[in-house]
A and B are shown apart, each in its own frame.
Chain A
Amino acid sequence: MKREFRFIIIGILATIVACSPSEKQEKERFRLFWPNSKGDYGFKDIKVHGLKNKNEVRGNHLRVYVNPRVEGDKVIGDRPSAKFVRSKKGVNVPADALSHQMVAAFAHVNRLKKLSSKWLSKKITSPNFILFHKNFSGGDGRKSRNNAHFVSSLDSMVLVPQTKKSKIPTALNAGVIAHEFFHSIFAETIGKLHEEYEKISGFIVWPKENLDSTESDTLVEEYIETEIDDEVLDQIKPDPRDFDPNDLEIRKMNSLMLSSMNEGFADIWGWIYSGDTNYFEKSFPHQSTQRQIKIANRGLIGHGSHLHLVRNFQLRELKTSWYTSGNRYANLVFSVADLYQKGKLLIDDESTKSWKETQVFVASWILETLKDISKEAAIHAQMGKMELFSDGALLYSLLAKLNEEKASESLCKILVGGETFFLNDFPSELDEQCSSVARRVSRRPGRGS
């Protein structure tokens, strides 16, 4: 009897020794629903860099919060507690639905920071927060669903619940995350200009709320409803250049143009990050028609087309026009990038480019465009007067990238085959280079060289 119990005790002790934990394994790989280079999703073991604490989903410049409070410009929330099961191969498998989404969004944003820094030769650290929020609204009391947001004042990407079934949940959609991510690059480049402009000239470039919550419906709606009514619209003169420099309309036009660029370029960022031109449709099939970036060149923004948009769209839908007019920018950048990749951009250059080269080409082009607009605005500010920004900046920065080489006929067709730009601001060099391509609309001379 006693002897048997001794055996049992010895048995338990031996088992404890045999089964006690051994050395810790590397735990940096995660099983995630992740896209391949073509944008097809499947379960893969993904190395997640920059994760200092996997359970808190926390890195040096990136934290995740679930339903945090917001006080002023501060995000206040509890640290999350993500759960994982370690597979036999030592991979961390998220053990609940929220953990999977938190880690995937973290992994995408961290990758975007790394890649964007490389593409732009400039350290990108924003955004610092990813918020999963079920009560987020633009302020109208309606809770946002089936969407993603970027709130620059909070330095936060906000992911809200999905209620409509789609192929890929928003938090796992590489392109959608990259779209929101771009807004932080935009806010950093253009947001600084905004402050400077305000400081120097006392002018308001566009309502601050518009920038701070780029996709906040209510703020935009209020702005539109109070500041652009039908009467004002009727008074809008046909040529934006004839505006009184102090006219409120200039602010509105600038705001509209910048917001359109912000959305259009963000859609492009989604593409260069994911390698997928259809990423939008995978999460938002119900509103994807206006967001196609890969469509046959349909011409650039027509003369005064923003005004048409303002007139033609229901006021409430004006925000939609950011995406619609922004989509023209996206189409242009995509078509040019496509030529670049195929080696058809220049007359004398026929070498195809790698995807990496294409990403750098597109990203740096966009950044140069934003910088160009910033510079232009700084000059306005110094002169103490306000003028319309020119989206011709997109062409000037492209011209600079051509390095004095001649544009190919295909490029000319894209640039001048359609209608003219918003401001008729077309680089005269391009005009000369593309003289053989028929133009549909006569235009004023641009800024020159």
Chain B
Amino acid sequence: MSFRVQICPLFLFLLLLLFVGPTSAAETYLGLGISARLERETESRDTVDAIVPYFFEAGVGEGKWRFMGELLYYNDKTSESFVEIELTHYEMNLLGKYHPWREVSSYLPIFGAGIGFIQENVETRIGGEVDRVEGDVEPVFIGSVGFLSTFSESNPIGFGLDIRALYSESFDPEVEFDIGGRINFIF
């Protein structure tokens, strides 16, 4: 990774600052979610398998716009002929979402786009030896379409569903899909 990724954390920090302390008109919310990420099975490219990441999100909403940061995690353990591998996946995503028909109905689609950063670690156990390797940070680009129930201070719990396409050079193929559900709380 080059210079651009070196300065990436700085920009992330600045971006997070923008989320801190929104004005009174904006809604600040927290969310919890679970999703199913579709990946090709190792045995066969022609079949897909679902991995289940959990995530936590924090965001601000203003009118038709929503901006959120997400922390996503999953863990995938495999064992075959006494080769044991544990993959730990961390992902931080920043998304902007636009809800063009919010006034009509909250059940009409909301569109989103964003960028994320994936970091994966691998722990391999073979023949009594253990090897832990930290993966490099890989950027991921996200496009999403979904539904989000309206929530406000008077109606502080909301639900959402998102279908996402994720693009990263580290994926095989480079696009993966993810279907996630979330519950949001205004505070």
Contacts and interface: CB of A to CB of B under 8 A. Distances in A.
Interface of A: 1, 4-5, 7-9, 11-12, 14-24, 31, 33, 41-43, 55-56, 66-67, 77-83, 85-88, 90-91, 93-101, 161-162, 165-172
A180 to B, nearest CB: 15
Contacts of A16: 115, 141
12 contacts: A8-B67, A16-B115, A18-B11, A33-B124, A42-B129, A78-B47, A85-B122, A87-B134, A88-B134, A98-B80, A100-B83, A168-B127
Nearest to B121: A85
B82 A11 contact: no
A93 to B, nearest CB: 5
B45 A19 contact: no
Given A19-B115, A94-B85, A97-B85, A43 B122 contact: no
What 4 pairs across the A-B complex have the smallest Cβ distances? A78-B44, A22-B2, A162-B81, A97-B80
Nearest to B14: A11
B63 to A, nearest CB: 9
B129 A33 contact: yes
B104 interface: no
A166 B23 contact: no
B50 interface: no
Contact of A56 (B45, B76, B94): B45
Contacts of A86: 135-136, 138, 170
Interface in B69-89: 76, 78-85, 87
A91 to B, nearest CB: 8
Contact of A19 (B43, B78, B139): B139
A101 B81 contact: yes
Given A1-B25, A4-B18, A55-B172, A87 B135 contact: yes
Interface in B1-57: 1-5, 7-8, 10-12, 14-15, 18-19, 22-23, 25-26, 39-47
Contacts of B23: 1, 4
B111 interface: no
A41 B127 CA distance: 9
B81 A171 contact: yes
Given A1-B23, A18-B4, A172-B83, A11 B15 contact: yes
A191 to B, nearest CB: 30
B153 interface: no
B73 to A, nearest CB: 15
B120 interface: yes
A11 B14 CA distance: 7
A11 B134 contact: no
B42 A99 contact: yes
A250 B5 CA distance: 72
A226 B26 CA distance: 87
Contacts of A77: 44
B131 A67 contact: no
B78 A96 contact: yes
A66 to B, nearest CB: 4
Given A18-B4, A78-B46, A5 B133 contact: no
B138 to A, nearest CB: 7
A17 B141 CA distance: 11
Contacts of B81: 97, 101, 161-162, 169-171
Contacts of A85: 87, 120-122, 133, 135, 170
A94 B82 CA distance: 15
B109 interface: no
Contacts of A81: 40-45, 172
A348 to B, nearest CB: 46
Nearest to A160: B81
B114 interface: yes
Given A15-B94, A166-B127, 4 more contacts: A8-B67, A79-B46, A83-B39, A100-B126
Contacts of A168: 126-127
A20 B139 CA distance: 6
A65 B1 CA distance: 33
B124 to A, nearest CB: 7
B151 interface: no
Contacts of B121: 85
Nearest to B22: A4
B175 to A, nearest CB: 14
Contact of A97 (B26, B78, B120): B78
B131 A31 contact: yes
A80 to B, nearest CB: 6
